[in-house]
Structure 1
Amino acid sequence: MQITLAGQGEALLLLHGFPDSAKLWRKMIPGLVDAGFQVIAPDQRGFGETTAPAKVADYSIDRIAVDAIALLDTLGIERAGLVGHDWGAVIGWRLAADHPERFSGFVALSVGHPKATLRAGFRQKLKSWYFLLFLLRGIGEAVVRAADFKALGWMTRQDPEMVNWRRDLSRPGRLTAGMNWYRANIAALSKADFPPARIPVLGLIGSADVALGTEQMRDSADYADVSFRCEVIEGAGHWLPLSAAAAIEPKIVGFLKSVR
């Protein structure tokens, strides 16, 4: 596993999602270090410079959550703050439910609790249409890769990060690895038994998120046993750590310092 480590102080684990790597956090790491955190930002399975297993099952939520706990164990860290974006937020919700003793608080960026997303209604289902494409093995890859990743650019509204995504996903097996996160977990996300968080949670979502509506984040309050607060970042899109770093960083720092 490739890991970015920076700073000293209270440990803070940052988990990215699709189609990113630890580079997602590059604009926030200096500020988080200055705020007194030791930042731990891994490239998760299949992304960045971390290995990409071939089997779909290797990308299950439970297995990737084990990666996070194993990383803390390897570094000798008993307790940390937790921030997750996109699929990293889904992993964060699982960690906040299953390992409350290891985390002081959790900041969910863009993605609310899976049960809240599941019940969010027809508008959210329309926003999640790309799930169906990614589930089609071979077809999903062909569509997204065609014409130099033109479809991915359209789906992400030509986000400036496309230059990094295109380079990373062009490597052999990496686009399939990213889509395998969807293929391995669609059944689990569709079930009604995803457990609630057992640590304090702060949910942050952009009002212009292309993939997720604010409702699914606000309704996550129903699946947080300790405490939950939701804030909408007006005008911000999906990739908050890149496009809204200055807005969300003080919120993250303030929340984590209040619960540690």
Structure 2
Amino acid sequence: MEEHRVRSGGVDLAVYVAGKGPPVLMVHGFPDDHEVWKEQISALVAAGYQVIAPDTRGCGQSTIASTVSDYHIQLLIGDMIAVLDHFGLERASLVAHDWGAMIAWRLVITHPDRFERYAALSVGHPAALSAGGKMQMLKSYYIFLFQYRRLGEWMLRGLNWRRVRRMYKSREDAKQAVARLSRPGYLTAGINYYRANMRVFGQRNVPNCKNMPVLGIASDKDPYISDQALRETARFVDGTYRFEIVHGAGHWLQRDAPEAVNALLLDFLGATAPD
């Protein structure tokens, strides 16, 4: 992959590009970087797509922003628009997971003219997520704990990063996550996404997604997000909405079940948009 540097909102974003063809922007979540998509990148490039995979601010090889407010959702949205503009792309397809999907939902709502279609992994429309009920509140307990300075860092770093290591099924994925977060400042940068956007998680008056097909992919072993939010997302999409569930996969379904996720993405990206 070719690495590019994109300046946006006071930070330098590392952006990785591979392949030629219709562009697909892929946005990772916490505590990942663009490498979480490596199985999907190879499949999409082989199928004739161009993949654009940024490390979001404070992650991977992108630079760390200095304050909590530097991670507000509006700045994160602006980063992705800056990436499209850097490559001269008027429109692209969009694939996102976890925090990347939180950003991506607002991208397609506020900039519908920039995206052909959107595949959301694990995270549903913001209004559906906030209406997820008691089950989602229980699964999201860590978000509230992250609001306390140093507590979130202690939770994840403690006992030789045990909580982080338990997030992933693959030992190699866990090892890489610990290595990323162990770099000075990067753990706090990741947690600052939650601190800067606490109000975002409770918003219900978020507009519907318009003018594009949307695919929601959930997994039935996700300990952090209930699949109910993606099921309910149909009510908040004015265009066509397709829901799929990947069985036997955890929160990182693109890593746990890459063949199933790749098949769904390729089918969705290659589908003809309805008139």
Taking structure 2 as the reference length, the TM-score comes to 0.91
Counterpart for residue 170 of structure 1: 182
Number of residue pairs matched by the alignment:
259
Q: What secondary structure, in the 3-state scheme, does the structure 2 residue paired with 1:26 have? A: helix
1:127 deviation in Å? 0.8
CA offsets 1:116-135 (integer angstroms, 9 cap, x no match): 11111111111111111211
Written as runs of structure 1 = structure 2, the 5 A alignment for 1:151-190 is: 151-154=163-166, 156=167, 159-160=170-171, 161-190=173-202
1:225 deviation in Å? 1.4
CA offsets 1:170-191 (integer angstroms, 9 cap, x no match): 0111010000000111112212
- In the alignment, structure 1 residue 124 sits paired with structure 2 residue 124: no
> Partners in 2 of 1:148 and 1:237 — Cα distance?
22
> Partners in 1 of 2:60 and 2:221 — Cα distance?
27
CA RMSD for the aligned pairs? 1.2
> Aligned match of 2:32 in 14, 20, 32?
20
Which segments of 5 or more consecutive residues in structure 2 lack a partner in the other structure? Answer: 1-12
CA offsets 1:42-68 (integer angstroms, 9 cap, x no match): 000110010110211111111111111
1:214 deviation in Å? 1.2
After TM superposition, the structure 1 stretch with the greater mean CA deviation from structure 2, 158-167 or 213-222, is: 158-167
Which segments of 5 or more consecutive residues in structure 1 lack a partner in the other structure? Answer: none
> Aligned match of 2:230 in 202, 210, 217?
217
1:259 deviation in Å? 4.4
Kindly indicate whether the alpha-carbon contact (under 8 Å) linking 1:200 and 1:259 is maintained by their aligned counterparts in 2. no
> Partners in 1 of 2:272 and 2:208 — Cα distance?
18
Kindly indicate whether the alpha-carbon contact (under 8 Å) linking 1:83 and 1:107 is maintained by their aligned counterparts in 2. yes
> Aligned match of 2:89 in 59, 77, 86?
77
Counterpart for residue 33 of structure 1: 45
1:245 deviation in Å? 1.1
Q: What secondary structure, in the 3-state scheme, does the structure 1 residue paired with 2:143 have? A: helix
> Partners in 2 of 1:143 and 1:122 — Cα distance?
23
Kindly indicate whether the alpha-carbon contact (under 8 Å) linking 2:164 and 2:177 is maintained by their aligned counterparts in 1. no
> Partners in 2 of 1:57 and 1:226 — Cα distance?
33
> Aligned match of 1:236 in 249, 255, 262?
249
State the AA in 2 paired with 1:95.
Answer: L
Q: Percent identity?
A: 42
> Partners in 1 of 2:129 and 2:220 — Cα distance?
16
> Partners in 1 of 2:138 and 2:14 — Cα distance?
35
Counterpart for residue 196 of structure 1: 208
Written as runs of structure 1 = structure 2, the 5 A alignment for 1:82-93 is: 82-93=94-105
1:147 deviation in Å? 2.0
- In the alignment, structure 1 residue 150 sits paired with structure 2 residue 162: yes
Kindly indicate whether the alpha-carbon contact (under 8 Å) linking 2:217 and 2:244 is maintained by their aligned counterparts in 1. yes
State the AA in 2 paired with 1:225.
Answer: D
